[in-house]
């Protein structure tokens, strides 16, 4: 499978622009069945058949996570097609418009293909970056089933954040289920993370992660 029957950008744009915003513990959106069926099957097929050896992955500054390098993406036609779709200018402007950001210049996009495995975790963080002044995070969960449902993104209250994971800051976890998109505009209060992946399983916590931003 090396091509899509239909360009899904219009469908994704409509879904994103019409998605309701959940305000607790901070503004974010969740869109289930985000990718159209043919695009979803296209992504699942690539995750299932990709045989890129582990030494072609970077650890992306957190333990037990694998992310395909930009150079590797360019050599895999399916991943390149996917990257190009999410970097579409119309889609990027839609994301900014959805979050009330007025900007007519160039919007950068970091696209990552992630396969998190046993031992993976992420301490609470905000995704705010020194190199960007406007940032929108988007992640598309890509598991084949719901066996890792509990390993979704956990949200934390912003008041007086403290390092420990088990304090009163924890708010809720967004289930890690197939074809779910989560997204938010990064702010100093958008604390989120992932609890440790402890299961002995061959399944990985597959996802597409995107960071849209305006460079400083």
- What stretch of H or E contains 106? none
Would 172 be classed as within a structural domain?
yes
Query: How confident is the model over 90-94, as a mean pLDDT?
Result: 92
Rounded Cα gap, residues 175 and 166, in angstroms: 18
Band (59; pLDDT cuts 50, 70, 90): very low
Would 74 be classed as within a structural domain?
yes
Instruction: Measure Cα distances from 206 to 4, 41, 105, 141, 209 in Å.
Output: 20, 14, 32, 7, 10
Between 49 and 185, whose confidence is greater?
185
pLDDT 10s digits, 197-208 = 988 888 889 999
Is it the case that residue 22 has pLDDT exceeding 90? yes
Assign residue 80 the CATH number of its domain. 2.60.120.620
Would 117 be classed as within a structural domain?
yes
- 65-68 vs 205-215, strand pairing mode: unpaired
Would 47 be classed as within a structural domain?
yes
pLDDT score, position 103 = 85
Is it the case that residue 72 has pLDDT exceeding 80? no
Helices (H) and strands (E) in the chain, counts: 5, 11
Boundaries of domain holding 209: 9-215
pLDDT score, position 56 = 40
Between 136 and 167, whose confidence is greater?
136
Residue 74 in tokens = 């360019």
Angle, CA 159 vertex, CA 156 and CA 163 arms, to 5°? 60
SS3 80: helix
Residue 163 in tokens = 């390092």
Rounded Cα gap, residues 136 and 202, in angstroms: 31
Percent with pLDDT over 70 in the chain: 81
Would 1 be classed as within a structural domain?
no
Is it the case that residue 163 has pLDDT exceeding 70? no
Would 18 be classed as within a structural domain?
yes
Is it the case that residue 15 has pLDDT exceeding 50? yes
Q: Measuring CA to CA, which residue among 65, 169, 172, 202 is closest to residue 122?
A: 65
160 phi and psi, to 5 degrees? 45, 55
Between 94 and 169, whose confidence is greater?
94
Query: How confident is the model over 85-90, as a mean pLDDT?
Result: 92
pLDDT score, position 28 = 98
134 phi and psi, to 5 degrees? -135, 125
Annotate 39-49 with b (16+ C-beta within 10 A) or e (fewer): bbebbbebbee
The tally of domains found in the chain comes to: 1
Q: What's the pTM?
A: 0.88
Is it the case that residue 16 has pLDDT exceeding 70? yes
Which residue carries 């009163």 as its tokens? 168
Q: Average pLDDT of the chain? A: 85
Which residue carries 């960071």 as its tokens? 211
pLDDT score, position 107 = 94
Residue 112 in tokens = 């990552």
Is it the case that residue 141 has pLDDT exceeding 70? yes
Would 4 be classed as within a structural domain?
no
pLDDT score, position 160 = 56
Is it the case that residue 112 has pLDDT exceeding 70? yes
Would 3 be classed as within a structural domain?
no
């Amino acid at each position: 499978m090396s091509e899509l029957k239909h360009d899904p950008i219009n469908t994704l744009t409509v879904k994103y622009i019409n998605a309701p915003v959940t305000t607790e513990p901070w503004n974010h959106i969740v869109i289930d069945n985000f990718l159209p069926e043919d695009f979803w099957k296209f992504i699942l097929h690539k995750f299932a058949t990709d045989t890129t050896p582990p030494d072609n992955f970077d650890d992306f500054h957190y333990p037990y996570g694998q992310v395909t390098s930009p150079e590797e993406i360019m050599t895999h036609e399916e991943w390149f097609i996917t990257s190009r779709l999410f970097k579409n200018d119309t889609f990027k402007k839609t994301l900014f418009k959805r979050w009330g950001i007025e900007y007519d210049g160039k919007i950068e996009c970091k696209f990552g293909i992630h396969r998190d495995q046993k031992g993976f975790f992420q301490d609470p963080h905000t995704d705010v970056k020194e190199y960007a002044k406007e940032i929108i995070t988007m992640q598309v969960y890509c598991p084949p089933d719901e066996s890792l449902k509990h390993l979704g993104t956990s949200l934390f209250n912003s008041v007086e954040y403290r390092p420990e994971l088990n304090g009163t800051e924890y708010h809720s976890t967004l289930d890690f289920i197939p074809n779910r998109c989560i997204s938010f505009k990064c702010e100093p209060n958008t604390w989120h993370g992932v609890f440790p992946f402890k299961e002995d399983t061959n399944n990985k916590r597959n996802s597409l992660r995107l960071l849209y931003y305006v460079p400083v």
